[in-house]
Structure formats: C-alpha cells, structure tokens
Amino acid sequence: MTFASLGLIEPLLRAIDTLGYETPSPVQGQAIPAVLAGRDLMAAAQTGTGKTAGFALPLLQRLTLEGAQVASNSVRALVLVPTRELAEQVHESFRQYGQFLPLRTYAVYGGVSINPQMMKLRKGVDLLVATPGRLLDLFRQNAIKFNQVQTLVLDEADRMLDLGFAEELRSVYAALPKKRQTLLFSATFSESIRLLAGQTLNDPLSIEVSPRNVAASSVEQWVIPVDKKRKSELFLHLLRERKWGQVLVFAKTRKGVDALCEELEAEGVSVDGIHGDKPQATRQRALDRFKAREVQVLVATDVAARGLDIDDLPLVVNLDLPIVAEDYVHRIGRTGRAGAKGKAVSLVCADEVQLLAAIEVLTRQTLRRVDEPDFEPDHRVPQTDASGQVLKKPKKPKTTGSKAALGRWVESESAPAKPQVKSVRNVPSFNTGPKKKKP
C-alpha cells in the first residue's frame, strides 16, 4: 500500500514525501479512505502510530477540493483537543501536510491573550485547532461563527471528558450545523466515549488497529520498587549510573515537578519543568529547549502526557504513577514512536500498589520488577498481576503455626483494582466530569 493508492492529491503526496513518509500506517490506511468518502469515524490507535495524519491528510484534501471560500470570522473544519501542547502539535502537523495547499490554518487556546486570536480570525480560516474553553470564549464574543463547519474532529475525546470539558463539548455541539462529518480519534476509548460516539455520530465506521488500552510493543517497560522518600535520590542515581541521555519524567503534582527540578539543578543537572501553573510561553520554551537538547531532563505533570511529540526520545520515567490508569499509556507513548524503540521505567512505592494493579489490568500485562541495589524498599511493594490481584504476606498469627504458613502469599481481601475510567451518564447532555482544569 502507498499513500498514492489511497487517493491523495499530488500536493499532499509531495508534502509527505518531504517529511520522509514512505508507507501508510495501519490506522492511516483505514482512516484516510473513510474520511475522504465523508464517513463519520471512530478510530482507536496506540499513540505514535500516526493517527493525526489519519485525519489531517484527508481533511486537507476535502477542504481543498470541495469547500467554498471561507467567510469572515468563519471556519470550515474544526479540530478540538484537550491541551495547549496538543493544539500546537496538531496544528504544526496540519501546517506541514498542507504546505503546498492554498489553505489557512490556525490554533487557539487559553493561557495567552485572546486579542491576537480574534484579529487572526477576522479573515476566516479554513481549519481551526482549538481547546474547548478558548473556542467558546471566541464564540461568545462573536469572533467566530460555525455556520460553515463541515467537519468536526475530536482528538483525545476521552481526555477532554477527564479534564472536565463535558459542558463545553455540549455547548459546541449545540452551536454546530446538524449536518456535518464527525471524527473521533484517540489512543484509548473508555466505555463512556463509545456510548458518546454511538449517540453523536451518524453510522460511524469503527477502526481499532491495536488492542484497546495496550501500550506500544516497541516500548520496553519495567518497575523499580523503592520507598517514597527515596524516589528522587534513586532517579538521580539511575541518571548517573546508567548514563541516561534525554529523559522525560512524569510527576503526579505541580509541587512534585518543582521539587525534582530544584534537586536536579542543585546537583548540576540541566533540567526544566512543565505544569499547569506555568504560563503557556514558559511551558513552550521549556519544551523547545528540551527538543533542542539544551536540557537533559524535562519534568512534567500529565498536562504533557498527550501532545508532546519529541523525535527519538529514548526514555520516559514515571517518578509517580498516574491516578488515572489510561494516562500511563499516554505517558510512555512519548517514547517508542513511529516504530522506534523506547524504554519506560516506573519508580513505585508501597502506597501506589493499587495504581500499579490498575495499570496492569488496563494494559493486560504484569510489569517486570527489577530491584536496584542499595535502594530496596523498607516498605515492600506487594506483588500484583494483570488479573488485578494484589498479594501480600499475612500478619504473623498469634498462635504457633507451621513455618510454611508464615511464608505463604495470600490474596488481599481488598477488591481487585480496576482501571480508573471516568464514567459518563446521560451522554447527550454531557453533564459529567470533574471541574474543568485549564487546558
């Protein structure tokens, strides 16, 4: 199969040739013809498998061949994403793929001044990438009109619900033309998203090119048990002893990001951090410095789990396991992209055993454990497996028993851990999800 055999026009073929694309990935091979045919689509693919090109290439072609001239303050195609970083990444992909096409594209998101965005939209744009909150701000100020929208793309729709954008999605849906093409793309799909798709898409084609919620096989994964208070010490030890190069580190909290950055800086390590409290310009500068290899370590919260496209990133480290199991897949998906090999190591303490069990259930695999000499934890991390069982040693019985009984592992009385997936009820109203975080 070639890109030409999928029916793409010459300017797009020329653009992807300059980018070094040779053959379509499985998701591209199935999605591109469907989008060109005008079908509604629901596609699930592992991160790093080229799903952005799966909707961007055919969408650019349809806008070039089918659409009328875009009116003032209007858009013809709308792509919604959950975070600022992903908005920039997706827009850059559209810009590269459409470099030989006479189309105007733009990206809008919060955290920066709205006035330049309003000015840019005055002439209208063919394709707009947006976060839901900023899009509605522009709509309410009459800076954007939806009457010309012919295609809506929801990229990482599950993450938008996780971040509390349910109400914004409902408002956007209510303002869009009823007759349109709708595409849902994501690395993972919760049951709530499947219910949402079933009630908002018209006879959609469903594509799943890989098992649901499974991390890419190109990423080698393992766990190092350690006491919570020694995590940063262990990371610095591994950084030096293993002679790691570039490393993307995920911490659970903004405070955790800042604390690790301070510790690494004190040890002479070049490091920068990204989290939701930092201005967008600061976050973008940190990412640019990391991509340019000006810093060795980038520490981030899950705001960066989706939307970071870093060439040849060799290693991801989970300083803390994510609260939501699906975020683990997205975190480690920052390495091993486009068929390259990658590594992902998680530093796990006893308090995180249920989170570990949930990840193993979700990914259908028991993660290999490797003890690091001199860092074996005083508080042992109970054994887990992909069935969700957490095994632990029983307390010493008060009465005398056999030595064998004291050494047995028994199943925990607690319920098996399950993937932590947000549920959505009464899908048409979208009135679910936690309080909205800034994109």
- How does pLDDT run across 207-240, given as a tens digit for each residue? 877 555 555 677 889 999 999 999 999 999 999 9
Alpha-helical runs (H) found in 303-399: 326-332, 353-363
Same-fold call for 4-212 versus 219-411: yes
Contact partners, residue 349, CB within 8 Å, separation at least 6: 225, 226, 227, 228, 231, 377, 379, 381
Residue type, 177: P
CATH of domain 4-212: 3.40.50.300
pLDDT at residue number 51? 83
SS3 225: strand
Sign of the four-CA dihedral 417, 419, 424, 425: negative
Q: Which helix (H) or strand (E) holds 151?
A: strand 151-155
| Domain 219-411, CATH class in plain words | alpha beta
How far apart are the C-alpha atoms of 272 and 285, rounded to whole Å? 9
Q: Domain boundaries in the chain?
A: 4-212, 219-411
For the full predicted model, state whether its pTM sits above 0.85.
no
Q: List, for residues 125-160, the tens digit of each pLDDT value.
A: 999 999 999 999 999 999 999 999 999 999 887 777
Q: Facing residues of 154 across strands?
A: 80, 184
- β-pairing verdict for 297-300 and 247-250: parallel
